[in-house]
Structure 1
Amino acid sequence: MDTSAYLDAVVERTRTFADWVHGGDATAPVPTCPKWTLADLVDHVGATQRMVAMLVGGRMTEPSEAFAGYVPGPTDSAEWRTWLTDGAAEAKRAFDSVADDTPVWDPSGADAGVPFWSRRLLGEACVHSADAAAAVGTRYDLAPEVAVAAIEDWLDTMTSRGYWENRPAFADAMRGDGQTLHFHTTDAPGEWVVRREPDRVVLEHAHTKADVALRGAGAELLLVISRRRPLAAASTLELQGDRALLDHWIEHMDWVTDD
């Protein structure tokens, strides 16, 4: 998927999210994000899209101005659908106004800029729509190709130099001496090998023997690695190898509370 395709998917996924939450109980808990209410979830999704639109559209190489411009969501849930879809449209316009090599700050540590943010917004939309589905009690579906892109975003961001440097607890937990985890989607092409080294986590796109492997449909794999569904409840996924190593990895995917 390219930047334009990512943003098209963001708009579509946000529209689905908006339909699910529109007119909902703002105080309803979000089971997959225990510290959040439905209003918190809506606020996070819409405000993040607007902040990224400011960063990208403003070609910002320093993020403080965009962070200072955080716009909270409406308190009236009857306004949520319009507010959310407007935010996604605003983000798409911002990306349409730049090229992939336009200098824009991002937290990856790799100066990934515009491509980083386009994929990050898609990952956000996919994972947080799962949160919305859990909160309102509706079924969660995701096209296989979109699920693969969201998994790529999750793994690439988690293994980035910026994440390692800015999350010392994560870095301490992930230090290793070559332990490997293999993730494989079966309904669309997608394979990743994660290797824990003393000073970094290495992500490779490869098919190779690993200490533990988890394979299955992209949507369910995304939900498990993002801690939106317990592995025990993911009956269609196939696990081979060191379960404790996988459990340790998932335990430290801490965006459930920090995102």
Structure 2
Amino acid sequence: MDTSAHLNSVVEQTITFADWVHGKDASAPVPTCPKWTLADLVDHVGATQRMVTMLVGERMSEPSSAYARYVPAPTDSAQWRAWLTDGAAEAKQAFESVADDTPVWDPSGGSAGVPFWSRRLFGEASVHRADAAAALGMRYELAPEPAVAAIEDWLDTMTSRGYWENRPDFADAMRGGGQTLHFHATDAPGEWLARREPDRVVLERTHTKADVAVRGPAAELLLVLSRRRPLDAAPGLELHGDRALLDQWLEHMDWVTD
């Protein structure tokens, strides 16, 4: 998916998310983010989109100004739909005003800029819509190709140099001696090999034998890798190899819920 496709999906998924949460109980718990209420989830989704809109639209070279201009969600849930859909539309407009090579700060450590943020907003929309579905008893669906793109975002972000450097707890847990985890989507092209090295996690797009492998439908794989569904509750997935290695990996995939 390119930047335009990512943002089109962000708008579409945000509209669905907004329809789901509109007028709902702000204090409702979000089971997939145990410390959050529905109000926290809405606030995070909309405020993040607005922060990225500022970063991209104003071509910021560092993030402090965007962080300082945090825009909280309305306290009245009857206003959530308009607030969320307006924010997604503004984000799309901001990305349409720049090129992929426009210099914009991002935390990846790779100077990925505009493409990084378009992919991140797409990944955020995909995963947090699953949170809303869990909180409200809605059916979560994501087509195989977008689900593969969301997995790509999740794994790319978690294995980025910036994430490793900024999360020493994650780095300490993930240091290894070459242990490998293979993730394979079976309903759309998508395979990833994560190799734990002493100084980083190396991510490759390849099919090879690994210490542990998980394969199955992309949407189920996304929900398990993002800790939105326990592996034992994902019957469409097949596990081969070292379950303890996978469990340790999943235990530390807690970035969105922090």
CA distance in 2, matches of 1:208, 1:27: 46
| Counterpart residue identity of residue 60, structure 1 | M
Alignment partner, residue 119 of structure 1: 119
Alignment partner, residue 96 of structure 1: 96
What is the CA deviation profile of residues 25-57 of structure 1, one whole-angstrom value per residue up to 9, with x for unaligned ones?
A: 000000000100000000000000000000000
1:221-232 correspondence runs (5 A): 221-232=221-232
C-alpha RMSD of the superposition: 0.6
Q: CA deviation at 1:257?
A: 3.0
| Counterpart residue identity of residue 133, structure 2 | A
1:1-259 correspondence runs (5 A): 1-258=1-258
Q: Does the CA contact (< 8 Å) of 1:227 and 1:256 recur in 2? A: no
| Counterpart residue identity of residue 193, structure 2 | V
Q: CA deviation at 1:180?
A: 0.4
**What SS does the corresponding residue of 1:192 show, helix, strand or coil?**
strand
CA distance in 2, matches of 1:54, 1:223: 29
Q: Does the CA contact (< 8 Å) of 1:32 and 1:256 recur in 2? A: no
Scaled by the length of structure 1, what TM-score is found? 0.99
**What SS does the corresponding residue of 2:214 show, helix, strand or coil?**
strand
CA distance in 1, matches of 2:131, 2:166: 25
**What SS does the corresponding residue of 1:102 show, helix, strand or coil?**
coil
Q: CA deviation at 1:172?
A: 0.3
Q: Percent identity?
A: 83
Q: CA deviation at 1:187?
A: 1.1
Q: Does the CA contact (< 8 Å) of 1:45 and 1:125 recur in 2? A: yes
- Name the count of aligned residue pairs: 258
| Counterpart residue identity of residue 232, structure 2 | A
Scaled by the length of structure 2, what TM-score is found? 0.99
CA distance in 2, matches of 1:223, 1:255: 14
Q: Which runs of 5+ in 2 are unaligned?
A: none
| Counterpart residue identity of residue 15, structure 1 | I
Q: CA deviation at 1:255?
A: 2.0
**What SS does the corresponding residue of 2:257 show, helix, strand or coil?**
helix
What is the CA deviation profile of residues 197-240 of structure 1, one whole-angstrom value per residue up to 9, with x for unaligned ones?
A: 00000000001111111011111100000000000100110111
Structure 1 segments (4+ residues) deviating >6 Å:
none
**What SS does the corresponding residue of 1:257 show, helix, strand or coil?**
coil
Q: CA deviation at 1:256?
A: 4.7
| Counterpart residue identity of residue 102, structure 1 | T
Q: Does the CA contact (< 8 Å) of 1:178 and 1:197 recur in 2? A: yes
| Counterpart residue identity of residue 232, structure 1 | D
**What SS does the corresponding residue of 1:194 show, helix, strand or coil?**
strand
